Amino acid sequence: MANSVFPPKENMLEKIFKKRKPIIGVIHSKPLPGAPKYKGEPMDSVYEFAINEAKRFEEGGVDGIIVENGWDIPFAKPEDIGFETVTSMSVMSELVARETSLPIGVNCLANAAFASLTIGKASRSDFIRVNQWCNAYVANEGIIEGRAAQVLRDRARLNADDIAVFADVHVKHGSHSICADRSIGEMTRDAEWFDADVLIATGNRTGDPTQVSEVQNIKESANLPVIIGSGLNIDNCASLMEVADGAIVATSLKKDGVWWNEVDVERVKRLMDIVSNLR
């Protein structure tokens, strides 16, 4: 255990998933209204795609699901995300939750922590993912600042303390030059000090493998569960999951390993077979 920077707290990973080393599949939703790639498709078809992805994940044996507006590229900064995105994701997440018995999370991109929280509250979700919880970095979208202080106050105001925060430590898709003088260990302690519940280690971008050394570095500095946030696949699963407490997985579980394809149930089953032997 690392030196504590915060009083010990309940292990939210165990509380939500009720098993060791949970695997969380990601639904990359079709483009939503307001996004450049949305061309007026019926919302029923958008929601149906998300529901079917959830069913494939559940059939394959994952332990949880996270809903993302993955096709809303290029992603807007948090303050520019519209009501149409929040509304669409709220309905989608609620419909997914109705169709599966698995725990559900939300990640409204990019870094829209408060939007994710409101979506999670409306859809009875169990957790949110926040890519930049504290500090700041230069992302594809521009300069992104952590909003932990405000979002935790919003969570209290919404009586949503049951929604856990899964926070990236060294977030992908950006430059960390703003905080380059600080080690990953220090940034890990920052996320813990700003009251995250679960920490996430990632590669450099979606689908890029997370390095075992980075996971170990974060775990050595943290008193919270640490999970993989990108790049887990059949080839590196055993080595990464020996160290990590769980993982969020998307690209490697899609057909042909391409993030925009449908979930491949057989790929999911093969990964879960490996994980089950590590529990």
- State pLDDT tens for residues 127-155: 999 999 998 888 888 888 999 999 999 99
CB 150 within 8 A of CB 195: no
**149 is a domain residue:** yes
Q: How many CB atoms lie within 10 A of CB 274?
A: 15
Instruction: Print the domain residue range for 80.
Output: 21-276
pLDDT of residue 173: 53
The stretches in the chain having pLDDT less than 70 are 1, 171-179, 203-208
Domain count, the chain: 1
**11 is a domain residue:** no
CATH label of the domain that carries residue 162: 3.20.20.70
Its pTM stands at 0.94
**12 is a domain residue:** no
Distance of alpha carbon 40 from alpha carbon 54, whole angstroms: 23
- State pLDDT tens for residues 221-267: 999 999 999 899 999 999 999 999 999 999 999 999 999 999 999 99
Closest to 265 in 3D by CA, of 50, 65, 104, 53:
53
**8 is a domain residue:** no
Cα angle 159, 46, 119 (rounded to 5 degrees) comes to 10
Strand 174-175's sheet: what is its strand order? 142-145, 136-139, 174-175
pLDDT of residue 63: 98
DSSP labels for 198-243?
A: EEEE--SSTTPPPPHHHHHHHHHH-SS-EEE-S---TTTHHHHHHH
| DSSP 8-state class, residue 257 | G
Q: How many CA atoms lie within 13 A of 254 on its CB side?
A: 16
